[in-house]
Chains A and B, each alone.
Chain A
Amino acid sequence: MISFIELKHKTGSLRPIVILEQYLNYRLRYFLKKFLLGILFINFVLLLISTEAEKIQLNDLANFFETYAFTIRAFFFLLLSFWLIIKLLDAFFYSVYFDTDNVATFELARTIHTSNPDDLVKSFFQSYQGKNILLRLGVDKKLLREFLDNRKDTVNDVEFEMEDDVDGFITMGDYGLALFKIDKELQNFFSGQGITEKDFCNTIEWVKNIEEQKIANGIWWTKEKLAKIPSLGRNWSFGKVYLLEKYGHTIFQDKNYQYLGGKDKIYEKYTDQLQNILLKSEGANAMIIAETSDIAMNIVSTLGRVLINGRIHSALEDHRIFILDGSALVNALKSKVEFENSFNEILVQANNAGNAFLVIPRLTAFIDSAFEIGVDVAEVLSEFLSSSSIQIIALTDERGFHQSIETNKNLMQHFEKLVIKKIDSEGALNILQEEAVRIETEYNILFTYQALEKISESAVRYFSDSEYSDKILDLIEEIKIKALTEGKFFVTEKEVTDVVALKTGVPQGAIDQGEKEKLSGLEEILHQRVIGQIAAIEAISKAIKRARSGIQNPNRPIGSFLFIGPTGVGKTETTKALAESFFGSEKNIIRFDMSEYNSFDALEKLIGGTGNKTVGNLSAKIRENQYGVLLLDEFEKADKKVHDLFLQIIDEGKFTDVRGEEINARNLIIIATSNAGSDLIYKASLDDKDIALEKDTVINSIIDRGIFKPELLNRFDGVILFHALKDEHIAKIAKLMLKKLATRLLEKGIKIDINEQMINYLVEVGHNPQFGARAMNRAIQDIVEGQIAEGIIDGKVTRGSLVKFEVNPLSKELKIIV
């Protein structure tokens, strides 16, 4: 354990520059250096003029300078001495700051040596870095001040102690964490602000890195920085690659390199391995295998950055990286002979150049398209793969590699594999932190730590269609644009959730007052559309609330339900109401009639076929619209293999289509409907039994009949029974349907009078317990809509008409009265 006194002692070597920073910080020194240099330059020009004025006999000017020349000269030397002092203090600062013997960071030393020993926590947050940490955590300054002033206990230097760091180097993060662990009140305060221990520690590290980077930018004399200056005549000794320039480009011209952003930090470790492969004496070719070919290209781009920054191995420093445009080559040269000759010439020129790394992106696609015109790429390449003058870096995605390259022994014996792992959330956060700082230096905005964490989290949950690092960078870019257009300075979690909600249609973030009211009254809203079905509505409402609160399992769909009940009792209507309440529109329903998927090729139709390379309907629809309600009508009629597929989808929230691509179903509410067991439900309704009490009987019967497997039923968040409709329900439904008709008629300028007599008649005629509300719908269509339509055609019903319906006492039929 380390006490505060020991900590002070350990940071003692940094104390002189802590003092220097207190009185003359580096920003002030930077300004003074520039200012003094400006004045020195003016002074120097004046001195020159004074000498020249005498020579060209400008008497007045010469007299002026004669009087003041001495003063100007004295002033010049005085300023020069000040400038030198600042330069030396700078050198002193940088030397001590980056001294490899330091056992703690400068920022920690600064905080420790300026702390009030009676209240370390307050001093921590009042320090320069402490203030920055709070800013990045989005903590309200006023709240913090109130908290700091009203604490019961404070942490003083005597009671402070922290664990020894494993690597012996102590950072602000270690110190902050120690304070956090000691001070329970601080923990509670942060917890109230939604800040976890991990958030706090990561933010401290991030702030420290930003500060260190700023200071490191002031140093120009390191080997790494000097190596960035391009040298003279280096390329004179190497050959030209004319044909490669036509059918390819250098890495620095590649889009991937230009959009690399902060991704190089993640991939740099792979470039070390890549360099090791390329350093071998001959036949040193690399095959980079990643989730996608673009990710593999990121490694090459990072190698490009390492090369230009002069951090590459000295044996590789004169090399140039060329990217072959395989598709351009195949498109331009249609015949086998032409293609073979040109491809061979490209390789000859690259070989003769003596310093080329030839990158072949999307190797599988290149091999396949060349094969179509009868060219065996591996054979053309084979002559050059053993050469020491040219090195080939082939890029491929995992699927292509396993499908067609791995088994090609002739090709693989010349390549060494480099397998790239997927980026994890920590890696993503690092990219975002660097990108945020880059944006902040360009624009007047500031990202909080929580905003970046939300971006990283949302990218995984909501956007699964592209590379993780690209998704997060696209998202931060969109958030930046929104913040700039709205004139916002702080980019917090809310700004992120707003953009994500806009892009996906899935409600996000904190629940505002309007939404709070909507959610609490959700059951009533749903009941306005769905008549009866109290238990079903209650279950759905609960699921929506759970999903909206963000506590549901992120690795499963938002919700999954099996609606069981007879036809026309409100299963589809509930789905529509659900889509409207959660996603804002009924349009967000992806509907499948599962009776179409009961043949032997049902699975092929849904996820694609291997033989004919068709795209599956389910894969295509979900890829088009990842956010919404997936409605599986008549689910019991689907093939058993299809049931198994959905068992996996509901369980894992994803599935793999026939092309091997993973499809994300975690942003869907899955609703399967079924008539299975509706005979039992109907009977229970006739006997006036409570359907909830009959649930087990119905479910057991469904399992016994072999309609659904018990494990499938168990996977659903809820199996919901819809009871048969009674007269009172049918009457309400009739009223609802007529109201909808009234709205449609009003658009045409026609009014309709909806009365009890009309409703009673419709209930009498249109109530068919077997078909539920569907029968009522048909009755309204036949009786009401039919007569109005006739009236419109006959010209009796026109714009401005008021339409009434009455039961004719003689015929006992409902007749229109205009």
Chain B
Amino acid sequence: MNFLSIIPYYFLWHYSQGLLDYFKVWKNLVWFLWNFFSIKILVKTFFTPFQRLKETYSGGLDLERFATSILITTLMRLVGMIIRTAIIIFGLISLTVFIIGGLLGIVVWLFLPLIILWLMFISLIALIK
């Protein structure tokens, strides 16, 4: 069995299953970034007080306690919103960059065998000179 005999199999794979695998990995990494920045859960709980910290108000006519409760809970909601906004924005930027990068990657993948050959060729020529 000759090592070079795998070359046709490789090329067949590179432009069929290999391309599909590229998409699979790309999809997994997009999912990872989405998951890593917890975008879905942060959006869903956008208005929830930070770590559910809030002042409980047990009812009755105590205006001072009522006001304190409203103030602290609002404050915690605001803290939560600010931190969540920062993470969501950072996450979305990373995702956008990665998705665009992934699209460019497809072009690179398609030409990768040629790119490698070209790199080898020019470097060998340079070294021989």
Partner of B41, one of A23, A92, A234: A234
Min C-beta distance of B81 to chain A, whole Å: 11
Chain A residues lying within 8 Å of B44, measured Cβ to Cβ, are: 237
> Which among B14-22, B57-65, B66-74, B99-107 touches the partner chain?
B14-22
B1-44 interface (Cβ within 8 A of A) = 1-3, 5-6, 9-10, 13-14, 17-18, 21, 25, 28-29, 31-32, 35-38, 41-42, 44
Judge whether A95 and B18 touch: CB under 8 Å: yes
The reply on B122 being an interface residue by CB < 8 A is yes
Instruction: Name the A residues within 8 Å of B120 (CB-CB).
Output: 77-78, 81
Is the pair B21, A352 in contact by a Cβ cutoff of 8 Å?
no
Given the contacts A16-B9, A20-B6, A99 and B17 also touching, CB distance less than 8 Å? yes
Q: Which residues of A contact B84 (CB under 8 A)?
A: 233, 236
Chain B residues within an 8 Å CB radius of A227: 32, 35
Of chain B, the residue at the smallest CB distance from A224 is B28
Q: Contact between A77 and B36 (Cβ–Cβ < 8 Å)?
A: no
What is the count of residue pairs linking A and B with beta-carbon distances less than 8 angstroms?
131
With A78-B124, A229-B36, A236-B50 known to touch, is A222 a contact of B28 (CB < 8 Å)?
yes
Residues 209-238 of A contacting B (Cβ, < 8 Å): 221-223, 226-227, 229, 231-238
| Among A92, A234, A237, contact of B48 (Cβ-Cβ < 8 Å) | A237
Closest to B90 in A: A232
Q: Are B116 and A84 in contact (CB under 8 A)?
A: yes
B14 contact set on A, CB distance < 8 A: 88, 92
Per-residue interface assignment for chain A, residues 754 to 776, with 1 indicating a CB less than 8 Å from any chain B CB and 0 otherwise: 00000000000000000000000
List A residues 1-51 near B (Cβ within 8 Å): 16-20, 22-24
Contact among B10, B25, B123 with A75 in the assembled complex (CB-CB below 8 Å)? B123
In the bound complex, residues from chain B placing their C-beta under 8 Å from that of A85 are: 116
Q: Which residue of B lies closest to A222 (CB)?
A: B28
Q: Counting chain A CB atoms within 10 Å of each CB, which of B21, B115, B123 scores highest?
A: B123
Interface size class of A (residues with CB under 8 A): 35 or more
Across the interface, B1 reaches (CB within 8 A) one of A19, A71, A223, A233, namely A19
Assess whether B50 is in contact with A16, with CB atoms less than 8 Å apart: no
Q: Which residues of A contact B9 (CB under 8 A)?
A: 16
A786 within 8 A of B: no
Let me know if B1 and A226 touch, CB within 8 A. no
User: Is A550 in contact with chain B by the CB < 8 A criterion?
Assistant: no
| B31 interface neighbour in A71, A74, A88, A223, Cβ under 8 Å | A223
Which residues in B have their C-beta under 8 angstroms from that of A223? 28, 31-32
**Contacts A223-B31, A232-B36, A233-B84 known; A16 to B41 CB distance under 8 Å?**
no
Task: Report how many residues on chain B are interfacial, defined by Cβ distance under 8 Å.
Answer: 46
Complex contacts, A239 vs chain B, CB 8 Å:
51-53
A616 on interface, CB distance cutoff 8 Å? no
Q: Is the CB of A460 closer than 8 A to any CB of chain B? A: no
Return chain B residues, CB-CB under 8 Å to A509.
Answer: none
B89 within 8 A of A: no
From the candidates A16, A70, A95, A229, name the one contacting B6 in the complex (CB within 8 A).
A16
For A231, give its contact among B1, B17, B25, B38 (CB under 8 Å). Answer: B38
Residues of B within 8 A of A78 (CB): 119-120, 123-124, 127
- Chain B residues within an 8 Å CB radius of A89: 10
On whether the beta carbons of A19 and B5 are closer than 8 Å, the reply is yes
Which residue in A71, A113, A237 is a CB contact (below 8 Å) of B126? A71
Write the nearest CB–CB distance from B60 to chain A, whole angstroms.
Answer: 20
Q: Which one of B3, B36, B84, B117 has the highest number of Cβ atoms from chain A below 10 Å of its Cβ? A: B36
Of the candidates A19, A81, A231, A237, which one forms a contact with B3 in the assembled complex, judged by CB atoms under 8 Å apart? A19
| Interfacial chain B residues near A235, Cβ < 8 Å | 51
Q: Is the CB of A236 within 8 A of B13?
A: no
Task: Return chain A residues, CB-CB under 8 Å to B126.
Answer: 70-71, 73-74
User: Among B3, B5, B80, B117, which residue has its beta carbon within 8 angstroms of that of A236?
Assistant: B80
The answer to whether the Cβ of A709 comes within 8 Å of any Cβ in the partner chain is: no
| Minimal beta-carbon separation of A74 from chain B (angstroms) | 4
**Other-chain contact of A226, B31, B38, B87 (Cβ < 8 Å):** B31
B119 touches A77 (CB 8 A): yes
> Which secondary structure dominates where chain B touches chain A?
helix
Known: A232-B37, A240-B52. A84 touches B18 (CB 8 A): no
Bound complex: CA A113 to CA B44 (Å): 55
Contact of B92 with A by CB under 8 A:
no
B96 contacts partner chain A, Cβ-Cβ < 8 Å: no
Whether A80 contacts B36 by the Cβ 8 Å rule is no
> In the complex, A367→B70 CA distance in Å?
40
Distance in Å: Cβ of A494 to nearest Cβ of chain B: 42
A96 contacts the other chain (CB 8 A) = yes
Provide the A340-357 mask, 1 if CB < 8 A to any CB of B, else 0.
Answer: 000000000000111000
With both beta carbons as reference points, the residue of chain B lying nearest to A79 in the complex is identified as B123
Residues on B with C-beta less than 8 A from A231 are 35-38
Q: B123: which A residues are within 8 A, CB to CB?
A: 74-78, 81
How far apart are A90's CB and chain B's nearest CB, in angstroms?
A: 12
Q: How far is the CA of A20 from the CA of B5 in the complex (A)?
A: 10
In the complex, A71 Cα to B126 Cα: how many Å?
7
Docked-complex contact B116 and A236, CB < 8 angstroms: no
CA distance A89 to B11 in the complex (A): 11
Q: Which chain B residues lie closer than 8 Å to A318 at the CB level?
A: 41
Given contacts A81-B116, A237-B48, A239-B51, contact A92 B122 (CB under 8 A): no
B84 to A: closest C-beta gap in Å:
7
Alpha-carbon separation in the docked complex, A240 to B53 (Å) = 8
Determine how close the nearest CB of chain B comes to the CB of A453; give it in whole angstroms. 38
Report the minimal beta-carbon distance from B77 to chain A, rounded to whole angstroms: 12
A807 close to B (CB within 8 Å): no
Query: Is A419 close to B, CB under 8 A?
Result: no
- Which chain A residue shows the least CB distance to B45? A237
Residues of A within 8 A of B119 (CB): 77-78, 80-81, 84
B3-A23 in contact (CB<8A): yes
In the complex, which residues of chain A have a beta carbon less than 8 angstroms from the beta carbon of B42?
233, 236-237
Q: List B contacts of A238 (CB < 8 A).
A: 51-52
B110 within 8 A of A: no
CB contacts (< 8 Å) of A354 on chain B: these are: 52
B85 → A minimal CB distance (Å): 11
A91 lies within 8 A of chain B by Cβ: yes
B112 sits at the interface (CB 8 A): yes
Q: How far is the CA of A236 from the CA of B29 in the complex (A)?
A: 24
Q: Say yes or no for B93: interface residue by CB 8 A criterion.
A: no
**Can you list 15 residue pairs at the A/B interface with Cβ under 8 Å?**
A16-B5, A20-B3, A20-B6, A24-B3, A80-B119, A84-B116, A88-B14, A92-B10, A96-B17, A113-B1, A232-B37, A232-B38, A235-B51, A240-B51, A354-B52
Per CB-CB distance, the 5 closest pairs between chain A and chain B, nearest first, are A239-B52, A74-B126, A237-B45, A16-B9, A78-B123
- Given known contacts A71-B126, A237-B44, what 8 new A-B pairs fall within 8 Å (CB)? A18-B1, A73-B126, A74-B126, A81-B117, A81-B120, A88-B116, A92-B14, A237-B51
